[in-house]
Amino acid sequence: MSSSSTNKRRKPNLSPSSSPTLLTGPPNNLFPSKEEFVRLIAVLAIASSVAFTCNLIATYINPSTKPFCDSNTDSFSEFCVPCPENGECTQGKLECAEGYRKHRNICIEDGDINERAKKLSEWVENHLCEAYAQYLCDGIGTIWFQDNDIWYDLDGHQLMENFQPDNATYIYAKRKAMEMIVRLLEIRTNSHGNKELKCPDLVAEHYKPFTCRLRQWISNHAFVIASLCSLVVGAVLLLRKLQRRWYLSARGEELYHQVCEVLEENALMSKQSNGECDSWVVASQLRDHLLLPKERKDPVLWKRVEQLVQEDSRVDRYPKLVKGESKVVWEWQVEGSWSSGRIRKKEASKLKSSESPPKAKFDALKSGALLAE
């Protein structure tokens, strides 16, 4: 008993050599350092980016690995993709209708076919509108065209030369073009039950030639145009008449003053020379001397001068035999020299346009009178 109790009371051995781990703690290389932790995060981020990119590329190239649901069934499940619009799905495969092409899981319109159909519709519209415009201008041409004729006319267009008539794309392009044409033009059904197309009136107006539109505009506004032309012509004639009257009055008075100067100086010279030269002047010679060549063709101008001379009491007009011919001569009848009147006349003559001085005119007339003697 004593020995067993002694063993129970014996203390355990707690020396450092018997339990080194409990006393020193975990080793230093058990956890990663800060630099190693940052590298680990960077590697995980790069791996995630690469995985996401590969998944995105795979999704774009093959967006769905699920088959398409058949078009003739209305039940859909999570194991198939619904058949898109304008598509036909059979046994999990998608086939797009004519005029459409496959893009991922949908069917979109074929841009080339639509562009071809648009050009065909524009060609038909131009043809029909030009024909209708010709009818509106000249009364010759066709207004309504049957749709069957237009359908066959599309075969002759150059856009359809590379296709066979039985080609599905060829037929779809023609059908698409006809749909566009029906929306652009007017349509009716004739007595035989056939559809006919016509260019709208407002659109046909833009296809008329400029000469046609001008002719029709003049025809529609003939009364207004005639009235305006009459007013313009009347105004021009009235203006020319007033201008003519003013010219005859101004030029006639100018010539009349020149005639008076020549006659007065001729009378003074005759008096100073004691009758060696004539005191009269032949009216026709005086006319040809004073008038310009183009003014001699205007008889009204000289008649205006003769009228003013006839109204002047200082001038005597009488016939005289000159070189065996009867001439009308003019003679100044005022005795003496009216110096004040002559000065006023000379001052007025300076303000007027004259071709030669009165003295030169007198010398010319004097020489003519001496020759006449």
For residue 150, the one-letter residue type is: I
Q: How far apart are CA 262 and CA 265, in angstroms?
A: 5
pLDDT value of position 275: 64
pLDDT value of position 223: 92
- 8 A C-beta contact, residue 70 and residue 89: yes
Distance between start and end Cα atoms, the chain: 207
Q: Going residue by residue through the chain (373 aa), what tens digit of pLDDT does each one get?
A: 444 444 444 444 444 444 444 445 555 555 667 777 778 788 888 888 887 776 556 545 555 467 778 777 766 667 787 887 777 787 777 777 766 777 677 777 766 777 878 888 888 888 889 888 988 888 887 888 888 878 777 776 766 665 555 566 677 777 888 888 888 888 888 888 888 888 888 888 888 889 898 988 898 899 999 999 999 999 999 999 999 999 989 999 999 999 999 888 888 888 887 767 788 888 888 888 888 888 888 889 999 998 999 888 888 888 888 888 888 889 888 765 444 445 445 545 544 544 444 444 445 444 444 334 3
Query: What pLDDT digit, counting tens, does each position of 116-169 carry?
Result: 788 888 888 888 898 889 888 888 878 888 888 787 777 767 666 655 555 666
Q: How far apart are CA 163 and CA 154, in angstroms?
A: 12
The two three-digit tokens of residue 194, written as one number: 């056939």
Phi, psi of 315 (to 5 degrees): -110, 130
Q: Where are the alpha helices (DSSP H) in the chain?
A: 2-8, 20-24, 34-61, 111-138, 147-153, 168-184, 201-205, 210-220, 222-272, 283-290, 299-311, 339-350, 358-372
Q: How far apart are CA 280 and CA 372, in angstroms?
A: 12
pLDDT value of position 27: 57
Find, among 267, 266, 249, 350, the residue nearest to 305 by Cα. 249
The two three-digit tokens of residue 219, written as one number: 């025809």
Q: How far apart are CA 231 and CA 61, in angstroms?
A: 82
pLDDT value of position 91: 75
pLDDT value of position 161: 60
pLDDT value of position 228: 94
- 8 A C-beta contact, residue 206 and residue 132: no
pLDDT value of position 15: 45
Predicted TM-score of the model (pTM): 0.43
pLDDT value of position 163: 59
